[in-house]
Structure 1
Amino acid sequence: MELYGFTAELLFFLFLTAFVAGFIDTLAGGGGLIVLPALMMSGLPPLSALGTNKLQGTVGTATATYMMLKNSRVKWLDVKFLMLSAFIGAVLGTIAVQFLNTEVLSLIIPAVLLLIAVYFLISPQPVNINTQPRLSKEIYQKFIVPSIGWYDGMFGPGTGSFFALAGVSLRGHGLIDATAVAKTLNFSTNIASLCIFLWAGKVVWLVGIVMMVGQFVGAWGGSHCLLRMDAKYLRFFVVVMCLGMLAKYAFSKGWLG
């Protein structure tokens, strides 16, 4: 059966992928490493895959940001200018990616995903201890935050982890506080990028909505899961899935024979 050009089997695969990504992302992070390869493997053009990924991913970061602000994990006055810097960086990155040749982009995205997957697997878990900042808030806001935002606008996977790591290593925040701030910055970059992709007509709504539902159900299940696996095993599972889908994508393109 087909629905608007998509088979029921493909839509179910994407729903299931989003469910797994939402579930794992809630417990260990890295859901974007699963979703973007799945979208590319399903046959979406690279820009449409990036845009649709932003549509389904914005829901999760919006929910997380609302909860962070509502529960006073972060204060609006402390993050509003950081969010603006992240927004501007993401807008510039998303505009830039529109001008990349599609054939080049189909090579760059898997390469970036491969590098991020390896980093995600081997990077140490930051400690939850406040330390002295290595950069001033002004430099951090003007250069580091928009740079990560630019990356999110161009590609995306791993952005939340990069914001959290930057908060810990450069601003001296504990892991919990850095992660809370990272949620708000990731929402800002997602919504900025999504606006540009919508303007460019690069969002596949049916796929995005199906995956939004999968993300919500997966995140709900993850947050209520009583069995807590070691994050290292979950990270390994994320990387294996990412590399498996990238290999399948490479075969479909004829890169591996």
Structure 2
Amino acid sequence: MPYAAVNGIQLFYRVDASAGSNAPWIVLSNSLGSDVSMWTPQVEALAAKFRVLRYDTRGHGRSDAPNGPYTLDQLAGDVIGLLDSLGIARTHFCGLSMGGITGIALAARHPERFGRVVLSNTAALIGSAATWSPRAARAREEGGMCALVDPVLQRWFTAGFIADHPLLLAGIRDVFRHTSGEGYAANCEALRDADASEEARTIKAPVLVIAGTHDQSTTAAQGRELAGSIEGARYVELDAAHLSNIERAGDFTKTLLEFLGD
């Protein structure tokens, strides 16, 4: 399996590149509590036009989960380290939730490395210490991830989607339950301490902000606020909750490809 030594840890990654070795790159960055598999609905369509690089954020999936807390600086630095290790000078970027705020930092700090940037179901400031600190403590408890999974999934998807897609939800639940408790908690602390509001205002890259009408974690109002803070940013709202790329996979993929192809 492909791993890269980045910033003192091993990051797991996957590349899908049916478009060939001369196609442009796009990096996909996962949400808290998921892994590279969350992007399965988009990979085939993207790989027909791009070289697609997915990675498990530190603390998730097959990547290392060192003791936390982590920081936004580390999350962004891991992406730059991964690009450097693979010899990728410039790429597009799409991140959702935690991946989205990582994308804000990357686009603001490394404009020469990123072309078009998609910030999905995210905000420049996500939640508060009152939310993240207790969740981090719960995740570190024995059985904490199992206790958290159902409340989290109820925020990730609308009730109708959950009822209609039990097999799909079973796989997503399994990924969440087996996420490192320490890794999850340490990323909760990174989100608790991250405020990218000022950095968002400095972004000059073409940006698409995608929000979910029913998203309780990063609301549509926050998505509109984020788009409004970035000069020239586009805003699209989908009839979904938090993981809009899964709940409205076809609409998400179409919107993403249209933006990247402009």
TM-score, normalised via structure 1 length: 0.27
Report which of the two structures shows the higher radius of gyration computed on alpha carbons.
1
Which structure is higher in helix share?
1
TM-score, normalised via structure 2 length: 0.27
Higher relative contact order (CA 8 A, sep 6+): 1
